[in-house]
Structure 1
Amino acid sequence: VKQAGINFGAPGDRRAENGTLWLDFPSVGGQSPDLEVMISNPKYERFRHHALKVKEPLPENGLNWVAASGIINPEKITIALKQREKQPQPDGIPIAGVEDDAEEDSHGEVKLHSSDLELGLDGGDPQVVALRFSNIPLSAIDELESATIQFTVDETGKSPSHLKIQAEDSANAKPFLETKQNLSARKRTQAAVEWSTPPWLKAGANGPEQTTPDLTPLLKEILQKQNWKPGNSICFLFTGTGTRIAKSYKGAKSGSARLILKTRTQGSPEKTSLAQTEEKISQNRYTIKLTFTEPDESIKPGQRRFRVRLQGETVLDSLDIIQEAGESMRCLVKEFSGIPVNDFIEIEFESIAGSETPPVISGIEVIHENGE
């Protein structure tokens, strides 16, 4: 998020002349952009007045219509500047379609639309199970820390099982076809990974017991191929003894296998990670403007005083809105520049000892200073 405003208690969204889109919170409906705002005190109260009732702002660039509403006693407000999906998808690269997981029986018959995947034996019959993952985002110079495949249990099984995992020896594996020996005829990598699979005791489980050992040796062999490039596909082939029954692809939410890749930054991981984090925070500096108004016309100076902390640092030690603004119902804006922000902005409000009424705030505007 580069520039946005949160207008507490407002009747809807509104764009200011400087380009800031002010979002109402709590949202009264409509197609507001998704910006996550959290208020720690579930018992906070709202107020709202007509904007014409709000007097000239201090300073002059304040917005009366922002100050016309607000919340009382929020305690702490957290704004997530890095937007997240409402329903995060599991980690890893998913199976993309029905042509990307398949079984081949001992007679060479290939089945794409299987209701599940029997790893090892299917009713005592040995078979090949193949998984194809597309759009692999790795180049030959990427340093893999680990590569695993995560399964989800379709049916339980606890008898001994031992699987051998290889990759197809191809720089860009093709989708599977229901033609004879389409899986077993594929050339395989010299490298292989052995997996003595633990018991699978609960349907729907997808934890460590359903995760393969590290498959990095297989991927390294593929990534070094002359025609490999990021975005290509990799196929893994499973054979072995015993049986473990995993969910197959039957749609994006079917619980089919996922390839989980973790890369290591070149050089010292610890030092590089720290340097990158410090650089990221130093680059992400924001100007933050807090809009206040005293909504209670009976309040006198000294009756509502509070401390404001921004990112854990005190920025207003004893704010008395009516004392600074000169009267109630006048917009008061406090601006803070160069505030380092990673993913969240946290603003805390604390009543000063002896204050008779809790803190209030009308709006928060955030503007990224780097202009990127």
Structure 2
Amino acid sequence: MEKAINSIIRALNQADATAPEWLHLLPAGEFKGVDGRGPYAAPDMDALIATFNREGHKLAVDENHSTDLAAKQGHAAPARGWIVELQKRADGLFGRVEWTPEGERMVAAKEYGFLSPVFLHSATKPFKVAKLLRVSLTNDPNLSDLKSLHSTEENAMLEQLRKMLNLPETADEAAVMAALTAAHTQQTAAAALMARIAEAAGVATDTAPDALVTAIQSRGKVSATDAENAELKTQLVSMQAQLTTLATTTAQDKATTAIDGAIKDGKIVPALRDHMISRHMKNPAEVESEIKLMPSLNAGGLGTRKQPGAEDVAMTAEDDKLIAMMGIDPKAYADTAKALHGKGN
């Protein structure tokens, strides 16, 4: 657990050390400003990219619209980066930025968190974006549809934390933080107890667990009058039992959540629930990888099956087996089959 916590800390430090290469400049669909300006029609990203490529000019990345405000007052308005390439994506128009040293430092240090684009648009509503001019670093964005400057690294970090903490992919930020807090508390308590035991054993407080056990064993049996050492040994045994129980309970909770979700999605039949939970507790990564590849039994529903008979559809032995395996209510199954049979006539 200590290694996992240290890995998380190192990863967080690494995340703070970089600035994003691609910036989210415009959303894909219709949008409007927080201040009420707009609405603006969904940008024609192909046309905007064609204009950018045809003109061949880099687009400045400044601070708080200094190009439009400070520069007109005769003040300095240095660029903190330059947009050198535009790219069309499913969630909008993105620009590849070449940061200046100061711009990269400010963004990596998270002095700015958001972007505010400047563009020309038509005169009638919904306004049509005609040309992208530049983009500003800001902490007071007018467009809430754009990704923050640090959203990419935050999503990557969240995924890394899920893996480190052995959480399912569906775990949200709150669940990840709760697990991280619990892991940190557990590590702190364990470290404090191990330090006390090491001190009582006469070795350094940072002695590795295996070496500590060897040191305790080398001292022979604990004297009946050595009450403190006896208490510490009891606490060590108790702590190990608690950690084992906690690990088992956590693994079972995660397995139950994952398998119940797969059953709900129709990827696993209820009859295999206990078996799959047991497998997930032993190897969650393997089971979750299998679940991803499993087709959903709900995908085709009952719509691909036609029941024989007239208006009252008879239930077959095959139906009975399917109902038992999937935990479907027999009456609901029969009603659905009846309705579907009627559509097929």
Q: Which structure is higher in helix share?
A: 2
Bigger Rg, structure 1 or 2? 2
Q: TM-score, structure 1 length as denominator?
A: 0.28
